[in-house]
Structure 1
């Protein structure tokens, strides 16, 4: 019997938990019929006294016309990610449980009346710009009964888009009240009319010629008859076993070029004159030849050939390519901790990464909300830490944060088994992709702490105190009160305990063993080290260490990082971490081989952190939101999903136009909507001889509960990041220490950027059929549109996208050009295979 099953059996044996059938049935009926509506009212209201910078939202409950007779006193639980310093209700008292989980407790003596409506005012801190901030699966709890999800709050899948929607969240239509937080914020919603103007200003040409993405360093098509690859090729590989290229060979076959013909395709590996991952590719009448320095280069050449062959339907114009990456690090970070995404989804993404020459998969395996990797020596981590359900004692699961619901069956639960992880590492290695496991610490560790507390209790009850204490991650005598940025008061490992370092070693050793099982040594371990709340001021275990640091408890996190990175170095591993934590360490106390991911926002901390940590000689990867936080919305609009704390919109054009080698220059192309006209300060100056190691996309998963949402948020933005990691951005001015830039600065070559975008957008459109074939549900961007002089005009972000329109009360019709209309019109676009639609937008004639 598993630990979870044993704990559940013990709970079931408690008489108080045996619910009477009539009472349970009454709660069930009430949960099924209770009306529930979340409405965002105002992002800039007059705030109650003592609350600065508030916003107002409401929950409206509609009592059903028939109230079950056996319904007793109950509580309502819901998730809300912003802090709620004030909640007003005539029937409920409010209590924060932890993190984002909130409780509304029915007041004593309250009697619900059939058909009554009750409005609960939520005064939040910050802002709420998107419907995606609504969290599903609110639920009801009564003593002795099983918790029940309120049916009205369940998410549903839109059959047209394939995406999850939340029907209980009211439409957000009042731009004046909801689009901005203050007069200083110049953000405007990207309506269909504004999108039309924006896309008209960014013309994109349909793909012709070479469509390889990312763009090769040099690619030339020559005169001559197309080379017919439809009959297949005779493949030979020199310098390696052809099985090492099996996935790339399979991708070529999927593009219509099978290894069954007579035309020779020769791959020579070991060319000393080529750069790592580089290759040459020649397609000529006599056959196809590839030269590469290494397996990665050969893989990249085959992927390029597959793209071009698919575009030209197997009859490839004679072609010569010379190619190598601009940066050695081109990564994708996937957060499995907040909401789980499993083995099959990850394997699909690994194949897509290889197709577009990304080479680092950063798997975020643990968070406050979930532990997602099996560690055989510590089974509680996966069995308890991976599941969220309503168990206030947290004996069978952890609390249901982020709208996970009460029953533990949601798809956001789960973990990778050892076999799953080994399979992922093997699949990635077969595609020359390094897997970088990440366990965030010492903050962001609530799931681990709760799992290890359960282990401690189990072993203590068995009389095994020493064994129980061996992995306890908190000091029970620590009375420090704190709240992390995600609102937890118990999510930080105690860095003064030997057990904490034993825990780290055990987890790292287990991951290293999985890599050995996969035949791929672990190279890098990412310890996070960001956003640490510091729960140690009153910890007896920490008092001596705090005294040694001059009474500064804040010095304990840097010392923790230094100690762990030294331990990793002793194991032959590179340590990685996020820039805020890593930047507080002493360089002299750190190993020389360190990876740091810069996640500061461009207009605030990105340049300071990037230049500081490049100057230290560290391997510096740009993970900044303006370039690569793909959990941010594509555009500022309430119907676009994602968090927006760093940016109201990160569209494909912005990612494509980024200039990694001159961070200050990006002020010319990325507008600071909250401080218009303010240049970015170039401090500290970047010392000569230093350069970023590369770029990485991040997908944090707080609002991303389905695999289709993962695909939507990543693609096609990930194609733009792949382009910037591989190919130079010729519009970039040379870095000059101390130079500052303004919006639309002429030193950034706007003509080259426009020409580059036009070409890139065409090549993206050419990739959509390949993504469809891989099963990647990329975003289908809604069209831009306007009604002018009685005629509907529409355009799309990418060339060749099918647009459909529907007058009020009419049927969907393919848009072929300006057409006379009367009254409002709905529009949408369709995926290349026609199976999915964008969200629907509406336009009306200007008044």
Structure 2
């Protein structure tokens, strides 16, 4: 850098105020401009690498946190040219707080949430050209995946001029379409980098291990011309279906729909999907007669489908049943084919609630993404979209009367005051127009609602409270400041969500110290009422009534303890408690009844609901049970169901789709409940019998666990948990896509699909192989073996048919809809100089490449002489899976 730049930067480092006596205004402007230019240059010059080193606890770990578990990582900072300027710092996101950093020249401090800052010590000596400086740090818990290393480090000067360091920006793999993190050093050491603890038995799913696992799949019968199983297979599986083995209906002339009084609005979306897949409509086409009439089952969504020699007849209890029958027709259809199997289908859903949660709060997903998702949910008969619209990192729905919610809290940039935007948590960067930022206008949201209605899907909005509410709190703080400046104190305090005098020190699960609405302020409840009334109006105008609302109510982290407002609130109100810690349950009860008075049913997460008094809650309560099965999570689900609450099973062990598909550090996602949830595991789920999974699933370290479903009493001899009472059942299941590290639409679709199809299978269809629930109670483990070899054989055989249908039928349909689903990796091994490869779904191509060579199609074992890489490939689009290396033995 030039001497002038150094003088300028030095002056700014000291503060511009100190230079005012000698610098004119014009010079001051030039100083600022030059300093900002220096930051831009430095952002391009610094090369940062993140290296996870060791998950094993060491002497540097805080012994008071999770048994002293912490991991060691290194930040390598290299400068391509000489750097002599100081007065800068780097903000970056790190999932868990850093306990301490070891460096002679840098410090690392936790700011809030996942945000940390690297600052220069007085001993900082600058960089020589090409020099690398390393900061070793120790952070809470473990780091087990490349995606833990959050991108977009932000370089800042004393003017708060910010620039993302180029070397830390994510990129997109042009072949897979997946996000890449070039600043992450790849893992190589199983013992130090991949294991959670010394006793962790999770195996890295290498190409060789994947090959061995894939050998259990024999798809050869499904590839024979005479095999009818795939052609006659419907996803999700119907209650009853019988097809001819010899007759087919020719639909080459298209279809002709006779509505017979069925609402055209209720079936148009299904007919449009048939067109997308290649089935035309024509006046001379095969007649499809739609009728409303009672079905044998009679439940909502039930239907009868008859494909005859010269026509197709559909009868259903309601419009949704007709719609689902048409989707079953689409499921039978094979892209580029002109026939349908002749047969009869009688069908009805197993669960009333068949849901998907999409978190658009942490990282935004645009309207087009949601509309595409709704189309695919409808295709597989899912009927509830739980739209998570607000959290600590963002507010995503326009509320016309509270413009600050979207003006401030829908975007992240660099603003320490957080009066213009939120700080860039989760590696959001500083570009307010990036795809991780944004919100749905009223028009956008109403378009989503109308689109959902046309597909018989209910949208259940969620604006999390009282925890997970930092975005709202900061927005209302900005509103407060605006009106205080205008001298309108009453309006400023109208919707204030925090007590300015509260000195409580707390840390949420996501490490925020200011993310919980103060439940002792009248203004907090005024805010909630205003928001809900506005959302209700928006829904009504879209003719999609707001009948159920999810308040979240989870993970409230010890706030309000030192709030004067809460001390006074408890004194002034006749409450059945005296401790501020108990105010969380009061809040849930009060808001639940507020909603009930507005004819809105309450939904919330199980941990928050568990603290409430059932006698103070409304008659209808939806509880999302997200307690871990490996830690007796079934007990809470049974407890809530036994008190007549509507339980939606949302078990993280199997239904959190932000978790990795496989145990591989390159597989994207969080993993706190499971290291691997692939599509087959979701298919294996028996949601009617939660504890029984202990017989064949493992815990988060791939070790056996025990599930106790007997009567559990507390110290006072009172029954705390008991088996599910006879006649009681869950209302449904829900798959969750949380978005903390999901920054692109492609990554979101990759995580959802094809797992969403297995979710639909389990939500709609009760498997015959599923182990019946024992209402007498039982303690399940690997040793009990109630899930017999015969049931396992039935399950695994049905998975083969399901997987064959995915590979040979459904993947083509997802491609037609431009869905970026996950392509399964190819497995491979080298034995006696020969490469053997396989893949978990038929219909996918396999390719291999030797070092320095080109990709070649794998058809049979082939001789190789050096290390090899393998991947699978879609035959139509050519999109490929991630690449796995196969090592010469």
Question: What's the TM-score once normalised by structure 1's chain length?
Answer: 0.96
CA 1:763–1:90 in 2, change beyond 3 Å: closer, same or farther?
same
Which residue matches 2:500? 476
Distance 1:744 1:157 in 2: 46
Q: Equivalents in 2 of 1:57, 1:602: separation in Å? A: 31
- 1:750 has 2:792 as partner: yes
The CA deviation at 1:408 is 2.7
Partner of 1:116: 131
Distance 2:589 2:548 in 1: 16
The answer for the alignment partner of 1:705 in structure 2 is 743
Equivalent position to 1:304, from 328, 336, 340: 328
Give the deviation of 1:839 after TM superposition: 0.8
Report the Cα offset of residue 291 of structure 1.
Answer: 0.5
Shift of 1:45: 4.2
Partner of 1:392: 416
Distance in 1, matches of 2:159 and 2:55, equals 40
Q: Distance in 1 between matches of 2:54 and 2:828?
A: 28
The answer on whether the counterparts of 1:211 and 1:311 sit within 8 Å (CA) in structure 2 is no
Most deviating of 743-752 and 796-805: 743-752
Paired residue for 1:332?
356
- CA distance 1:598–1:232, shift in 2 (3 Å): same
How far apart in 2 are the matches of 1:399 and 1:319? 59
Q: Distance in 2 between matches of 1:525 and 1:594?
A: 10
The corresponding residue for 2:835 is 792
1:669-680 superposed matches below 5 A: 669-674=696-701, 676-680=703-707
- Deviations along 1:302-343, one digit per CA (max 9) or x if unpaired, are 111112123571211212111111111110100011100010
Identify which of 50, 54, 59 aligns with 2:62.
50
Cα deviations across residues 592-650 of structure 1 (Å, max 9, x unaligned)?
11111011111114212101111111110011112210000001110000001111111
Q: Per-residue deviation at 1:113?
A: 2.6
Q: Secondary structure at the match of 1:318?
A: strand
1:147, 1:311 → 2: CA distance? 51
* Matching of residues 160-559 of structure 1 within 5 Å: 160-204=175-219, 206=222, 208-262=230-284, 263-271=286-294, 273=296, 274-311=298-335, 313-546=337-570, 548-559=575-586
Matched residue, 1:650: 677
Instruction: Report the CA distance between 1:223 and its aligned residue.
Output: 4.9
**For residues 604 and 376 of structure 1, do their structure 2 counterparts lie closer, same or farther at Cα, with a shift above 3 Å needed?**
same
Question: Which SS does the other structure have where 2:473 is aligned?
Answer: helix
Partner of 1:730: 768
Q: Give the SS at the match of 1:27.
A: helix
Q: Which residue of 2 aligns with 1:687?
A: 725
Residue 127 in structure 1 maps to residue 142 in structure 2: yes
Match of 2:117 in 1: 103
SS state at 2:587 partner: helix
Q: TM-score by structure 2 length?
A: 0.91
- Say which SS state the counterpart of residue 310 (structure 1) adopts: coil
Aligned residue for 1:817, secondary structure, equals coil
Preserved contact between residue 674 and residue 699 of structure 2 (Cα < 8 Å) = no
Distance in 2 of aligned mates of 1:47 and 1:835: 50
Query: 1:15 offset after TM fit, Å?
Result: 11
Counterparts of 1:669 and 1:325, CA distance in 2: 26
Q: 1:215 to 1:237 in 2, by over 3 A?
A: same
State the distance in 1 between where 2:429 and 2:275 align.
44
Structure 1 pair 208–145 and aligned structure 2 pair: CA distance change class (3 A): closer
- Evaluate the alpha carbon distance shift between residue 324 and residue 14 of structure 1 in structure 2; reply closer, same or farther with a 3 A threshold: farther
* Superposed CA offset, 1:419-477 (max 9, x none): 11000000000000000000110000000000000000101111111111110000111
The answer to whether the 8 Å contact 1:329/1:359 transfers is: yes
- Given that 2:266 and 2:320 are in contact with CA atoms closer than 8 Å, whether structure 1 keeps it comes out as no
Measure how far apart 1:406 and its partner are: 2.7
Q: Distance in 1 between matches of 2:390 and 2:612?
A: 23
How far, CA to CA, are the matches of 1:643 and 1:14 in structure 2?
51
Could you say what secondary structure the match of 1:226 adopts?
strand
The structural deviation recorded for 1:673 is 5.0
1:20 maps onto 2:32 in alignment: yes
Superposed CA deviations along residues 101-145 of structure 1, whole A, max 9, x for unmatched, are 111111125221312211111201100000001111101111125
How many angstroms does 1:733 deviate by?
A: 1.9
Match of 1:147 among 162, 183, 188: 162
SS of structure 1 residue aligned to 2:734: strand
Are the equivalent residues in 2 in contact too, given 1:217–1:322 (CA < 8 A)?
A: yes
Which of 604, 615, 620 aligns to 2:631? It is 604
The 1:335/1:582 distance shift into structure 2, 3 A limit, reads: same
8 Å CA contact 1:19, 1:145 repeated in 2: no
- Do structure 1's residue 782 and structure 2's residue 805 form an aligned pair? no
Contact 1:524 1:576 in 2 (8 A): yes
Alignment gaps of 5+ in structure 1: 1-12
Q: Within 2, Cα distance between the matches of 1:145 and 1:394?
A: 13
Distance 1:554 1:818, change over 3 A: same
Counterpart contact for 2:61–2:99, Cα < 8 Å: no
Deviation at 1:753, TM superposition (A): 1.3
Q: Does 1:741 align with 2:764?
A: no
In 2, Cα distance between the equivalents of 1:15 and 1:244? 68
From 617, 639, 651, the counterpart of 1:590: 617
Match of 2:108 in 1: 94
Using the TM superposition, give the Cα deviation of residue 556 of structure 1 relative to its aligned residue in structure 2, in angstroms: 0.7
1:512-570 deviation digits (Å, cap 9, x = unpaired)? 11111111111110000000013111111111444644332222111111111101111
1:711 positional shift:
0.5
The answer as to whether partners of 1:769 and 1:832 remain within 8 angstroms in 2 is no
Shift of 1:200: 1.5
Structure 2 equivalent of residue 10 of structure 1: none
* Partner Cα distance (1:14, 1:47) in 2: 54
Task: Name 1:157's counterpart in structure 2.
Answer: 172
Give me the whole-angstrom Cα distance separating, in 2, the residues matched to 1:232 and 1:677: 54
* 1:65 aligned partner: 81
Q: Shift in Å at residue 745 of structure 1?
A: 5.2
Query: Are positions 1:836 and 2:870 aligned together?
Result: no
The SS at the match of 1:144 is: coil
Partner of 2:21: none
On the 8 A contact 1:79/1:100 being kept in 2, the answer is: yes
Residue pair 1:131, 1:638 contacting (<8 A) in 2 also: yes
Q: Aligned in 2, Cα 1:14/1:128: closer, same or farther, shift over 3 Å?
A: farther
Give the superposed CA RMSD: 1.8
* CA distance in 2 between partners of 1:649 and 1:396 (Å): 40
CA distance in 2, matches of 1:30, 1:430: 52
- Give the SS at the match of 1:501: helix
The alignment status of 1:573 with 2:600, answered yes or no, reads yes
Give the Cα separation in 2 of the matches to 1:552 and 1:203.
62
- Superposition deviation, residue 180 in structure 1: 1.2
How far apart are residue 35 of structure 1 and its match?
A: 1.0
Q: CA deviation at 1:47?
A: 3.4
Matched residue of 2:48: which SS? strand
CA distance in 1, matches of 2:701, 2:207: 23
Change (3 A) 1:30 1:620: same
Q: Tell me which moved more, 341-350 or 237-246.
A: 237-246
Judge conservation of contact 2:632–2:691 (CA < 8 Å) in 1.
Answer: no
Aligned partners of 2:242 and 2:345 also within 8 Å: yes
Aligned partners of 1:230 and 1:256 also within 8 Å:
no
The more displaced of 651-660 and 193-202 is 193-202
CA offset digits 1:769-812 (Å, max 9, x no partner): 10001110000111111111221111111112111001111111
Other-structure match for 1:4: none
Deviation at 1:244, TM superposition (A): 2.4
